[in-house]
A = this chain, B = another copy of it.
Amino acid sequence: MTESNKPSLEVCLSPALLHLFDVKNSIVVIIDVLRATSTICTALYNGAAKVIPVATVEECVNIGRAIDGITAGERDGKVAEGLVHGNSPFEYPREFIENKTLVLTTTNGTKLLHMAKDAIQIITGSFPNISAVCDYLIAQNQNVILGCAAWKDRVNMEDTLFAGAVVNRIREHFDVNCDSAIAAETLYESAKTDIHQFMKQASHYKRLAKYGLEKDITYCLTPDGANILPIFKDGALVGV
């Protein structure tokens, strides 16, 4: 708690900066907008029993086999060899994913999640579940770190924008004494009237658009399409 008697709200723009934050005494929100944390909330919203995030394709294959789960993950825009599904949220409608366990390999998001393991609580956020994330954070009255998964540790636009959108919504409940949080919020304020257009400058947009994934991008940037709260418990994300 800070002098204001409100908990702190901070933004960590890259996993390579997480050591600068007091993870142990905070709730950490893992943010990987394109597309891991968008797909995670979508699968859970559509009734998945849980989502197990893993770092490598090998781990994904092994765990998927052991628990009869749906293995998913991409490398260079294609389903990774040995896995069955991709990273798109559209691959996980209710009729497919309900009551199943998704074993998802993502590099950036999973790495950050494991780095944050000592947090009070880990949740995941993206635009499709922004309201669930904000409502939860306000209700907890704990310090919060919005952790951007970034791209190979490089700060990225979409995760920063989502962090800024959350700051914008919940700041009155927190003490915001973090330049990254103020910068992210200002960026979001500049972008919000046409966030899709704004994102066209971003490196990840260019990467995904090359694979024909504009529809994914639009979904991942749109609020509340899958408004559920994924909480990390016993190695898996479950919907609350």
Contacts and interface: CB of A to CB of B under 8 A. Distances in A.
Interface of A: 13-14, 16-17, 20, 152-157, 160, 177-180, 182-183, 186-187, 189-191, 201-204, 206
Contact of A155 (B17, B187, B190, B203): B17
25 contacts: A13-B13, A13-B155, A14-B17, A16-B16, A16-B17, A17-B17, A17-B153, A20-B152, A20-B154, A154-B180, A155-B180, A157-B179, A157-B182, A157-B183, A160-B179, A178-B203, A179-B203, A179-B204, A182-B201, A183-B187, A186-B186, A186-B190, A186-B191, A187-B190, A190-B190
Contacts of A189: 190
A186 B161 CA distance: 12
Q: How many copies does the complex hold?
A: 2
A18 to B, nearest CB: 10
Contacts of A203: 177-179
A36 to B, nearest CB: 17
B154 A17 contact: yes
Contacts of A160: 179, 183
Contact of A153 (B20, B178, B191): B20
A20 B204 CA distance: 16
A187 B189 CA distance: 10
Q: Which of A16, A152, A153, A204 has the most CB of B within 10 A?
A: A16
Given A14-B17, A186-B190, 6 more contacts: A17-B154, A20-B153, A154-B180, A155-B179, A157-B179, A160-B179
A31 to B, nearest CB: 14
A16 B160 CA distance: 18
Q: Which of A156, A178, A186 has the most CB of B within 10 A?
A: A186
A1 B137 CA distance: 45
A156 to B, nearest CB: 5
Contacts of A20: 16, 152-154
A153 B100 CA distance: 42
Contacts of A17: 14, 16-17, 153-155
Contacts of A206: 177
A198 to B, nearest CB: 8
